[in-house]
Amino acid sequence: MISLELARELKVAQLPWRPRRGDLVMDRLNIAFIVLRDGTDDAGSVEIDTAQGVERRPSLGLTWIPRLDQLLAFLARRGSFKLSVSPIEEGSHSCLWQITLPAKAGDAISASMGSFSASDGGEAAGQALHFLLSEAAWRPGPAL
């Protein structure tokens, strides 16, 4: 799972989100909720499970915490990327996830736009996506 800070940075960088049942979201007080229904109502509210009942909250006040598969789907819209996983140390159960973005034809950066590493796959993919959204001014199109 990506960090809340990275999720907020992706929100500011305008990663598109359409609420889907099962999505994880956080409010401004860092309280986690599960989205119960696809989409928003006419007022732009999302139906969430608060563990004490069902509530509707404005979607703008929530931060979506995308899963690894969702982050990779956005990266795939740009084109190819390389995903590798390797053990941090021999005999260790910890892994290093790395995403490498090759330069596209016409990019100002030569062979590779960048490489992003983290001990969590979602964090590495989120860093790569944040780079594309903010530094490379890339737009992924509509929400998943």
Assign 112 a pLDDT band (cuts: 50, 70, 90). Answer: low
Model pLDDT for residues 13-43, shown as the tens digit of each residue: 999 999 999 999 999 999 999 999 999 999 9
Sheet holding 82-87, edge to edge: 82-87, 95-102, 112-118
pLDDT score, position 110 = 47
pLDDT at 91: 75
pLDDT in tens, 54-73: 999 999 999 999 999 999 99
The model's pLDDT over 87-110, given as tens digits with 9 standing for 90+, comes to 988 777 889 999 999 987 665 554
Taking the model in full, what pTM does it have? 0.89
